Amino acid sequence: MATRPETHKPVTRLFPFVLKARVLIAGRDTLARSKSRLQFILITTDLSENSRTRVLQDYAPYPVVQHFTAADLENHFGLQGTKVIGFAKSDLARSLYAEMKAYRINRPARGSGFCAGGSPSSAAA
């Protein structure tokens, strides 16, 4: 009996739902104001090293994923010149994070309240 080849669906298939569900958070000011709603941060691979370091410092308690380019974000979300976006807490954002977890570049701070599932836990561990 032949084994069925594993078919890996691209995470981009979920991007249209991100727009419909309004879980996308774009813009530095908006991200800074929305920290309590953040599930995770996505930065592009073409982000400068200084900006990358700054994002990792500013959002240390949150998972940061580095994947895609600014051109990819423009194609999928219509965001011109955007290199840092966030996703608001939701089941959809949790699913996106689970599929992009391999591209995570930080580990949230130990006392940050994030559990293994990537969402803040209300109980102290």
User: What's the pLDDT at 100?
Assistant: 96
User: What's the pLDDT at 62?
Assistant: 96
Domain boundaries 11-103, corresponding CATH code: 3.30.1330.30
Mean pLDDT of the chain: 86
Domain regions of the chain by residue span: 11-103
The model's pTM: 0.81
3-state secondary structure the chain: CCCCCCCCCCHHHHHHHHHHHCCEEECHHHHHHCHHHEEEEEECCCCCHHHHHHHHHHCCCCCEEECCCHHHHHHHHCCCCCCEEEEECCHHHHHHHHHHHHHECCCCCCCCCECCCCCECCCCC
Banded pLDDT at 49 (limits 50, 70, 90): very high
Banded pLDDT at 107 (limits 50, 70, 90): confident
